[in-house]
Amino acid sequence: MRLNRYFARLALLLVVISAAAGGLAMRFSASVQNARLRQPERQRADLEQIVREAQEAIVANYVLETPPDALTKSAIQGMLRALDPHSSFFDSKEFQEMRTEQHSRFYGIGVSIARRNDRVYVLCPIEGTPAARAGLRAGDAILKVNDEVATDWTTRQVLEKVRGERGEPVSVTVERLGVPKPLTFSMVRDAVPLPSIRTAFMVRPGVGYIALSGGFNTTTEDELRRAMNSLTAQGMQSLVLDLRGNPGGLLPQAVSVADMFLRRDQKIVAVRGRAGYSGDEAREFRAKNTAPFEKPMVALIDRNSASASEIVAGALQDHDRALIVGEPSFGKGLVQRVFELSFGAGLTLTTAKYYTPSGRCIQRSYTSGLLYAYYAQHASESSPKGEAAATDTGRTVYGGGGITPDVMVKPQVFTGAQGRLADATFEFARHLAAGLIPGLMSYRIERPDYQHQLRDSDFPMTDKTLAAFREFLKADRRFAALDAAVSPNADFIKHQIRQHLATAAYGTEAGFRVQLATDPQLQRAIESVPQAVELAQRAWLAAGGEPRRD
């Protein structure tokens, strides 16, 4: 009986196999294909399991206690670093700070600070901010933040402590020259402006200057339009657009800035993503402005001009719309898209490359995988030039390694002696502003006047000022050895003292204007305006325009 049951089952199995044989044969290739498709999914699941086990082993057994969230963050950052230097992960706090900066503001007390002589000092409170309203002054040495001793902190540490959520209280204790006891200022954090344009003024009769150095944020186009209108009303016949130090930012804002200077339908930039990618990273942007600013232009760039600022510089150069002066730019030709993740985190992921109107991708090489080498080396030193391209008038330009200026000018560099003197001039200016230098009480500053327009006669630097500086050095053992360096660097010393005083009296913009007075790159840009006029005329003729005189 058992044998009969066995054969019965075998017969049934054969019937089933026979009935299914045709279907199996037809579905065999599809099954193999599905298995292949599932293979990456299984590999990903296996990898996820390995990562979880590795993290659990580290948390449970590593010689030092290691928080799981720190490991997860490091793992994500390491994963992104394997791709390129600009794809980044942000935890919830960092992501919120990034979003805030894109909207041209952050929350804090509104103060410009710097570390000098082993202390962090207030350079100037920003107009209309909690610091200005509370009464913080230039030259105040920061001792504490919220009762935490800050005498050994870096500038970054102080900034991290004074920034925070809007409406939260914060206290800052300072040492003020001429006041016997420390002063404590209680403030409530509020929005602090973070504008794109640092300053705009007529640097010479007929020559306007705009420093667009604060990145491309949501307000950049509006800021630039206001500055352009103001300078035009003052008789601007040519423009120096300073993009030095501009790290980039929002692509649409870069397009809008370039659109102000290019004729309708001229290409600004092309953005191309991965082949076959279904996202929107395959676009071409063209100028739409029917009434652009057409007067001659010079654009200033340096090794810290990157990304969006290079888009603007590249478009102006390729269309021969501006003469480019300065140093080769950084060389970032990658476009990042912002992704919001769970729990308030986020990441910026490279999803495309951008190309200038002549077809250049100016991205510098990052194949070494070493972040220090990528950021520390100048673009022209680390990235070979790519294929040549031509501007509208036939001038040769190159891809790779950033935007190469038409006129190369090195920046101002301090000598070793000048670097040491810079700290001494800051301390001397503190004493001048506090009214503590005998015979020079007229330099005393009570509080900043942000509405004052800086004049050449403000804070004159005389032989008497220099003599007082010498006496100050001799009386302070930190600086006594610098006396021999005074005569060879007299002009440098006077300029530094005046810059510190202008900042303390009238704000950071006034101090920056004093700094620009001896800036070799800006001086060369102004001298290059006639070349910009010739370039603008050639570009006009190349586009089919009739000869004209501006």
The Cα-based distances of 531 to 320, 526, 547 in angstroms read: 11, 10, 17
CB contact set of 402 (below 8 Å; sequence gap of 6+): 303, 310, 328, 329, 330, 331, 362, 364, 379, 380, 383
CA–CA dist 392, 376 (Å, integer): 33
Q: Which amino acid is at 413?
A: V
CA–CA dist 215, 496 (Å, integer): 26
DSSP 161: H
Q: Which two tokens stand for residue 489?
A: 């660097």
CA–CA dist 356, 359 (Å, integer): 5
Of 78, 84, 97, 83, residue with least CA distance to 332: 84
Of 289, 268, 316, 321, residue with least CA distance to 225: 289
CA–CA dist 114, 548 (Å, integer): 50
Query: From the CA atom positions of the chain, what is the Rg in Å?
Result: 31
Around Cβ 153, how many Cβ atoms within 10 Å? 19
The Cα-based distances of 45 to 40, 41, 49, 52, 288 in angstroms read: 9, 6, 6, 11, 49
List residues with catalytic annotation: 307, 318, 332
Of 525, 508, 506, residue with least CA distance to 455: 506
Torsion sign across C-alpha atoms 463, 467, 468, 469: positive
Rounded to 5 degrees, φ, ψ at 314 are -65, -40
